[in-house]
Amino acid sequence: MSTPVTSVTIESLTEACNTKLGATHVEGKDISGGCGQNFEIKIVSPMFEGKSTLQKHRMVNEALKDQIAVVHAFSQKSFTPAQWEALQQQ
């Protein structure tokens, strides 16, 4: 059962991505200036394989819904390992 969320941090978001989405790489940025209200996150997971962008975003929304509900703004970019690899090559 999910515990009530009172504050959101990069660590808590990363933890949820790792456990719920099997993320192999997570890059989070708190762009709120410290008030914990505005996050930007990049997630790499093999679970995104074969999914459309909308499906990937829905998976992330579901995995992080407790946390997204308490922040003001949340922005995500989700990649499969292959997409991420290709991006690093550029």
Task: Check residue 12 for interaction with other proteins (CB under 8 A).
Answer: no
Q: How far is the CB of 67 from other proteins (least distance, A)?
A: 9
Q: How far is CA 80 from CA 1, 5, 17, 38, 67, in A?
A: 28, 28, 13, 24, 23
Q: Which position has the token pair 């407790």? A: 66
Considering the rule CB under 8 A, would residue 55 count as an interface residue with other proteins? no
Binding residue for other proteins, selected from 9, 27, 46, 53, defined by CB under 8 A: 53
Of the candidates 9, 29, 70, 87, which one interacts with other proteins according to CB under 8 A?
70
Q: Is 40 helix (H, G, I), strand (E, B) or coil?
A: strand
CB of 73 to other proteins, least distance (A): 6
The residue (of 46 and 65) whose beta carbon lies closer to other proteins is 65
Residues 20, 13: contact at Cβ < 8 Å?
no
